[in-house]
Amino acid sequence: MSSDVRIVWVYPDLLSTYGDRGNLLILARRAQLRGLAVEAIEVRSDQRLPDTADIYLLGGGEDGPQALAAQRLAADGALHRAVDRGAVIFAVCAGYQLLGRTFFAKGAKCAGLELLDIESDRGATRAVGELAGDIDPRLGLPPLTGFENHGGRTHLGPNVYPLARVTAGVGNDGVTEGAWRGKVLGTYSHGPALSRNPAIADLLLRWAIGVDRLAPIDDTWPERLRAERLAAIRAA
Ligand code: GLN
């Protein structure tokens, strides 16, 4: 393998709503701007996931595809092996929920992958709109901004940290948003998440290649986008 960073977009045929594929593009671009050679692979749900990737990306999905994805990922087993050897997983919305113990899809309780100590049930209303929060200080990142659209509500167990404290929107439950443990990080933020939160993209890259810092790059455009979205919340 000659690439420095190998990124897998998991099941684009099932988990790919709200432009989440943009997360793959952002990661690849930000790695390349640092001179890193990137291999980006899209693996459909009828294919086996490679065991050797550095970063696995999961997107959002409607209930039916989400339940099918969870079954196929459990049967494949590659994500568990990936976590065991210290690979990075970044998961959005349906992808985030299915990393937990259980989630609800089409009224039925479904088994998740148990890679995060979370459980998801359904809320009284669908959470749709801007999402923002102050990220866990241990991660040292600027505020989270995103767009959310989900019926599920997520409850965190003792073995996982909230990704952020909600300042706008709902996230997990109106108080916290997302979760992380080790190098596994989940969020309800679409938008796509990494175009609106390039600092999270860089965190994932740092985890993947094992460095504390990456060379700075020109973030004028991402900063404009962030400022616009955060101002839209204040104006609402
Ligand atoms: N089906 C899940 C829910 O509604 C996730 C939706 C999504 O990924 N946007 O909670």
CA–centroid distance, 98 to ligand 1, in Å, is 10
Measure the CA–CA gap between 8 and 23, rounded to whole angstroms. Answer: 11
CA–centroid distance, 209 to ligand 1, in Å, is 31
As given in the structure block, the two tokens for residue 24 are 């793959």
Index of the ligand 1 atom closest to the CA of residue 190:
9
CB 24 within 8 A of CB 40: yes
CA–centroid distance, 225 to ligand 1, in Å, is 24
Q: Report the b/e string of 199-213 with b at 16+ CB within 10 A.
A: bbbbbbbebbbeeee
Strand partners, 111: 102
Please name which of 52, 49, 62 lies closest in space to residue 16, comparing C-alpha atoms: 62
CA–centroid distance, 152 to ligand 1, in Å, is 6
Give the per-residue pLDDT at 75.
98
Measure the CA–CA gap between 196 and 224, rounded to whole angstroms. Answer: 10
Measure the CA–CA gap between 38 and 229, rounded to whole angstroms. Answer: 30
Task: Give the residue, out of 15, 17, 63, with the most ligand 1 atoms within 8 A of its beta carbon, to mutate for a pocket test.
Answer: 63
**Residues in contact with ligand 1 (CB, 6 Å cut-off):** 17, 60-63, 66, 93-94, 149-152
For residue 123, count CB atoms less than 10 angstroms from its CB and return exposed for 0-12, middle for 13-18, buried for 19 or more.
middle
Index of the ligand 1 atom closest to the CA of residue 148:
9
CA–centroid distance, 191 to ligand 1, in Å, is 14
Which residue matches tokens 């349906």?
94
Which residue matches tokens 């600027």?
142
Give the per-residue pLDDT at 236.
83
Task: Give the residue, out of 11, 62, 102, 109, with the most ligand 1 atoms within 8 A of its beta carbon, to mutate for a pocket test.
Answer: 62
pLDDT lower than 70: segments of the chain:
1
CA–centroid distance, 170 to ligand 1, in Å, is 13
Query: What are the structural domains, with CATH classification, of the chain?
Result: 5-235 (3.40.50.880)
Rounded to an integer, what is the distance from CA 122 to the centroid of its chain?
20
Give the per-residue pLDDT at 18.
82
Q: At what angle do helices 22-32 and 198-209 cross, to 10 degrees?
A: 60
